Amino acid sequence: MNTKDKLFKLNISEDDTCYICGMNSESIDHIFFGCHYIKATILHVGAWIEIRLPFRDVLRWRLEKMGTRVQKDIQNATLNACVYHIWRQRNLSRHDLTLLHPQKLALLIIEELRLRIEGMDKRKLHASDKQWIQRLLQC
């Protein structure tokens, strides 16, 4: 049982409705895997990085990712950025009553990742990694 469920059951919170979509009961499972808003955001980010980001089995996906060490590191950073920004958007929608369009949230995540990638030392990278990174920076 998560904190919001507990607060709702103790009559401390008004309801258990998702602050983002307003349609379902809010839970960690719903926020990160079931909410249509989040799915739209993650699909857009996944298309940019040329991978299908997971909705359910995140740990297995992290272990089975394909690619070089550099590509896996960027994929992990992408997943971490998605989790951070999704939770941040959830809190903004709760406290400030603001909600970005899913594509705008995805672009915010992508821009943050581009800045991180641009700051990487690329001198020792393999040519295929350099090409992949160049595609990410141009999209």
Cα 43 to the chain's mean position, in Å? 9
How much is the pTM? 0.82
Give dist(CA 69, CA 72) in Å, integer.
5
- The first and second tokens of residue 69, run together, are 């060490």
Strand partners, 17: 25
Q: With cut-offs at 50, 70 and 90, classify the pLDDT of residue 3.
A: low
Burial (0-12, 13-18, 19+ Cβ within 10 Å), 26: buried
Q: Which residues contact 1 (CB under 8 A, 6 or more apart)?
A: 9
pLDDT of amino acid 131: 94
Backbone angles phi, psi at 125, to 5 degrees: -80, 150
- The first and second tokens of residue 65, run together, are 């990712």
Q: Where are the domains of the chain?
A: 3-138
In order, the DSSP letters of 45-64 are HHHHHTS---SS-HHHHHHH
pLDDT, tens only, 68-113? 889 989 988 998 999 899 989 988 988 888 899 999 999 999 999 9
Give dist(CA 96, CA 114) in Å, integer.
27
